[in-house]
Amino acid sequence: MNQPAKLEPIPLDSPAIQRPDPGAIERVVRAPVLIFIASAVFWLLVSSCLGLLASTQCHRPGSLVVLSDLPWLTFGRVFPAFQCAFVYGWLSSAGIGVAIWLLSRLSNTAYPTVYLPVLSAVTWNIGVGAGILSILGAGGNGRELLDFPFQAAFLLLLAFLFFGIWAVLVIWNRAPDSVFISEWYIFAALLCFAWSFPTANILLNLPQSSIGPAPGVSQGAIHAWFEKGLFGLWLAPLALAVVYYIIPKLVEKPIYSRKLALLGFWAWIACAAFGGLTVFIGGPFPAWMVTTAIVANVLALIPVLAVAANFHMTTRSAVEAVRSSLVFRFVTFGAMIFTVYGFEAAANSLRTISQVTQFTLVTLGQNHLFLYGFCSLILFGAIYYLVPQLLNRPIIFAGIANFHFWMSVAGLTLLWVVLTIGGLIQGFGLEDAKVSMDSISDLLKPFLMLQSLGALIIIVANFAFAVAVALIFLLPGRVRWRSHVPETSVERTPEVTVA
């Protein structure tokens, strides 16, 4: 049985290390972190509106008479714009902002050059805005999550380069202390995005040249590899880094097992990049490639279970102490959804099940579970945790934040259940040659209408989140309303080292 990892902080007066004041570190990185978070909230609202519009057009394309004659608001443009705004505008912006804060805190380094992350934030938002406007203006290329034209993708890569240079400088100048597991996940996310994003754009979106675009069906394989890597090796590590930092801080104890943490990290990195080709089961690819993807998705249950066991053992004796914590609620619920997603992804990768679920609404529901249930809920909790610290203010009107949590859970649950059931009906209908496409469309209409209801609930939740964050930003620090987040959740206790 694994023994709990022991917390052995270096004394503050040790001659081997002089730790800067955490408040000084936060003052240095405050500007880029808040810029990234504020822009992420903006793109969350934009993507929510685009998502609701796309969902409505699925079952009532002609209902919005005013918009029906506007080609840039048709489903074929709105839906990819929604996806890119959500993934690159909301999740990536919030993830980078939180990563800047985590790296500074865990590295014990207040590196003075903040111009690079600020420049990164500005360039990133220009790239996202230019890409979304290009998609709505018929400038997209039709590849999911690679719809940005090459020029907009270059701006994103340039912004990421600014952030990466700053991260390397922070790591290079970090205090001579142990490396935390949260840092491991952030390092992995940086390396994987720097590898996959430019590679996919060069091979798929680069104008005709000697190295791009890739020929024939290889484009499908490259795109599937990129999308799986974007989810599993960019967004997931950023979310898990937050969980590995916040949960031990809230329960005020080290993570349960260092060995489980390392097993979960290396097993996830090894499996997450190879599961993309399951979307092409039965397609024009060698059988060994598809089989490797299936095996990778099934083996990914090992790190999923390792992470779940570690978090459960860490929190089992401290749940009562932090049950009222809003941050704890968001982060732990997102971590539990990560386990559910792992099992669903493994099941949908099997050939027998994929024969029914492939190319149906089940896949869309699985993506919502990962992007909103896992990544977004954890980032919501992270923002509620660090923004009050950066501004030295409480969560104003905590009831709004609680309303945001329950509406998010309700909307996500409705979306996932409706899309899963509707997708299964759709899949069995497609398997039966006697069932016409018109009949399948008629069967799906009630589920698509409920999908729009779920999207509406989520957009209400997201606007409540924007209001809650705006109140923290705008109201003065001397105003003190009662918050449901206990004081222990914002104390600067020693971080937990696992390496």
Whether residue 364 contacts residue 79, with contact meaning beta carbons closer than 8 Å, is answered with: no
Burial class (CB in 10 A: 0-12, 13-18, 19+), 285: middle
Q: One digit per residue, pLDDT tens: the chain, 499 residues?
A: 334 433 333 333 333 334 455 566 777 888 999 999 999 999 999 999 999 999 888 877 655 545 556 778 888 899 999 999 999 999 999 999 999 999 988 887 656 667 899 999 999 999 999 999 999 998 788 889 999 998 999 999 999 999 999 998 888 877 666 788 999 999 999 999 999 999 999 898 877 656 667 788 888 899 999 999 999 999 999 999 999 999 999 888 888 998 999 999 999 999 998 888 998 898 888 899 999 999 999 999 999 999 999 998 988 877 665 667 889 999 999 999 999 999 999 999 999 999 999 999 999 999 999 999 999 999 999 999 999 988 887 777 788 999 999 999 999 999 999 999 999 999 999 998 888 988 998 999 999 999 999 999 999 999 999 999 999 888 765 444 333 333 333 333 333 333 3
What pLDDT sits at residue 448?
A: 92
Per-residue model confidence (pLDDT) at position 209: 58
What is the distance between the alpha carbons of residues 281 and 291, in angstroms, rounded to a whole number?
9
User: pTM score, two decimals?
Assistant: 0.89
**What is each CA distance from 397 to 320, 465, 480, in whole angstroms?**
23, 11, 9
Q: How far apart are CA 433 and CA 266, in angstroms?
A: 45
Quote the pLDDT of residue 289: 92
CA distances from 351 to 362, 365, 421, 430 (A): 15, 19, 19, 16
Structure-derived torsion over alpha carbons of residues 71, 367, 226, 231, reported in degrees to the nearest 10: 130
413 contacts: CB under 8 Å, gap ≥ 6: none
Q: Domain extents for the chain?
A: 318-486
Q: What is the pLDDT of residue 216?
A: 82
CB 106 within 8 A of CB 27: no
Angstrom distance (rounded) from CA 277 to CA 262: 27
**Cα–Cα nearest to 335, from 363, 372, 368, 307:** 307
Structure confidence at residue 210 (pLDDT): 61
pLDDT recorded at residue 414: 97
Rounded-to-integer distance, Cα 64 and Cα 61, Å: 7
Cβ(185)–Cβ(241) under 8 Å?
yes
Residue in the structure block whose two tokens are 């790190």: 303
CA 414 to each of CA 184, 374, 418, 426: distance values in angstroms, whole numbers, following the listed order: 35, 15, 6, 18
Note the pLDDT of residue 394.
77
Q: Is the CA virtual torsion 51, 56, 57, 59 positive or negative?
A: positive
Distances in Å between the Cα of 377 and the Cα atoms of 83, 178, 451 are 17, 29, 19
> Distance (Å, rounded) from C-alpha 301 to C-alpha 194?
26
d(CA 481, CA 89): 31
Provide the Cα torsion 308, 313, 315, 318; round to 10°: 160
Q: What is the spatial distance between Cα 117 and Cα 186, in angstroms, rounded to a whole number?
A: 15
Burial of residue 188, with CB atoms counted within 10 A of its CB: 0-12 exposed, 13-18 middle, 19 or more buried: buried
394 and 480 Cβ atoms separated by less than 8 Å = yes
Given a contact cutoff of 8 angstroms between Cβ atoms, the answer to whether 56 and 200 are in contact is no
